[in-house]
């Protein structure tokens, strides 16, 4: 009986640690983070996901790659308040071998449009 209790305790501890280590980080983005001329909303009527693409200002290729590798979620700010958030994480915008921007994933078109407007500074 003691062994079963110990095994259950170890499994529970492992699951708790696994959950803590696998929580996504969240980055906060605003119009100062995006080149407004590069903000593009890409939609496809046959796909549930909406993509918002932009060139990241003030971040190196390695910094952008680190964000993408962590599979970060993003909150989009405008006027000092969060106006929307991704619900699909983010991907990379790559030119050659350089990470130059992000692709934000949204499940709703209206969320993506709010983010597009905020990142353009409108």
Instruction: Report the distance separating Cα 82 and Cα 70, nearest Å.
Output: 21
Q: Which residue has the higher pLDDT, 20 or 11?
A: 20
Round the average pLDDT of the chain to a whole number and report it: 82
pLDDT tens digits, one per residue of 67-111? 999 888 999 999 999 999 998 888 898 999 999 999 999 998 999
Question: What pLDDT score was predicted for residue 104?
Answer: 94
Do strands 26-29 and 73-78 pair parallel, antiparallel, or not at all (unpaired)? parallel
Q: How far is CA 45 from the centre of its chain?
A: 22
CA separation, residue 56 to residues 46, 47, 111 (Å): 28, 25, 19
* pLDDT tens digits along 17-37: 444 455 678 999 999 999 999
Quote the CA–CA distance of 50 and 113 in Å, as a whole number: 9
Length of the chain: 122
The whole-number average pLDDT for the span 36-59 is 90
């Amino acid at each position: 009986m003691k062994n079963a209790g110990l095994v259950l305790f170890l499994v529970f501890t492992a699951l708790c640690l696994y959950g803590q280590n696998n929580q996504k980080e969240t980055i906060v983005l605003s119009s100062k983070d995006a080149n407004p001329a590069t903000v593009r909303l890409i939609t496809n009527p046959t796909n549930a996901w909406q993509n918002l693409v932009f060139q990241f200002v003030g971040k190196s290729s390695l910094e952008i790659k680190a964000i993408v590798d962590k599979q970060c979620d993003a909150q989009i700010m405008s006027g000092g308040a969060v106006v929307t958030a991704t619900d699909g994480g983010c991907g990379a915008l790559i030119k050659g071998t350089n990470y130059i921007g992000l692709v934000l994933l949204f499940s709703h078109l209206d969320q993506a449009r709010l983010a597009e407007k905020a990142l353009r500074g409108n």
